[in-house]
Amino acid sequence: MEPLRALTSAPLDVAALVSAAAHAADQRAGHIGAAGALSTFVGTARGRTAGRPVRHLEYEAYEPMALAALERIAEEVSESWPGVTLLLHHRTGQVGPGEPSVVIVATAAHRAEACAASRYAIERLKQIAPIWKREVLEDGASWVEGATADPDDQAARAEARRRACA
Amino acid sequence: MRVTVRLFARLRELAGTGEIPAEVPEAATIAAVWDEVVRRHPPLAGHARAIACARNARHARSDTPVAEGDEIAFLPPVSGG
């Protein structure tokens, strides 16, 4: 069975990960059908950036720290939405246009918590996980740079929560 | 004392390597480790802005003292997802 949090250089199998999250929720509850709602977010590699074709993306991670960040996001989700089970898998290495780079599955008894937790998790991942993306185009490549990672920045955390609950 | 420096993404490319053994004085801070790395890899000069740092894979401030055998990482702004 798939772990709940992982970095992997292998392609992400969305259906298998949704099943794994549902199974984990069932295990936790001690009965089948624990999740009345599973909210899945799949981030995929865009085939164009600013109108120019993208050959592929390359993801690099500081793996022990990135995995710790994914665990931290799961803990934060548990604090805000205690019944939610969170699966969070992120790719490393080369990801072609249309292929998933990240899969998040949040399970809950009801849809509101599942959707909010899933949105919160992707917002936090973009803020704090030490993972970097390089866009490889036909005529060159460049690193994408977003947020300066600071897990203790409470304003960033509040902003992620605001977006999740909007 | 000796520490291992880890660089990622743009910083790794600028330095031409992702892992650098560095010799720093006792009680040196993470900021001093950065200065030593820049001295040895001049293309990194001027790239300290917006960088986060970590000591042994945990976030740390640049004024944190380092110890023998530490792994010190410099993290450019992140872009996962």
Query: Would B81 be classed as within a structural domain?
Result: no
Domain ranges, residue B17: 12-66
Please indicate, yes or no, if residue B43 is contained in any of the structural domains.
yes
| Chain A residues in contact with chain B using a Cβ-Cβ cutoff of 8 Å | 43, 59-62, 64-66, 68, 90, 101-102, 122, 125-134, 143-152
Query: Over the stretch A101-125, which tens digit does the pLDDT of each residue have?
Result: 999 999 999 999 999 999 999 999 9
Flag residues of chain B having pLDDT under 70: none
Q: Does residue B44 lie within any of the structural domains? A: yes
Q: Do A149 and B52 touch (CB under 8 A)?
A: yes
Number of domains chain B is built from: 1
B78 CB within 8 Å of a chain A CB? yes
| Chain A CB within 8 Å of residue B52 CB | yes
Q: Determine, for residues A148 and B8 on separate chains, whether the beta-carbon distance falls below 8 Å.
A: no
- Give A69's contacts (C-beta < 8 A, 6+ positions apart): A125, A128, A129, A130, A149, A151
- What gap in Å lies between CA A72 and CA A101, rounded to an integer? 20
B14 touches chain A (CB under 8 A): no
Classify the complex by whether its ipTM is higher than 0.85, answering yes or no. Answer: yes
pLDDT of residue A1: 78
* pTM for this prediction: 0.96
Q: Say which CATH architecture domain A5-164 belongs to.
A: Alpha-Beta Complex (3.90)
Strand partners, A85: A107
Average pLDDT, chain A: 96
Residue B18 DSSP label: S
Q: How far is A149 from chain B (nearest CA, A)?
A: 6
Residue B40 lies in a domain: yes
Q: Are strands B52-55 and B71-75 parallel, antiparallel or unpaired?
A: antiparallel
Residues of B in contact with A125 (CB under 8 A): 80-81
Q: How confident is the model at residue A166 (pLDDT cuts 50, 70, 90)?
A: confident
Query: What CATH number does residue B60 fall under?
Result: 3.10.20.30
CA–CA dist A132, B18 (Å, integer):
14
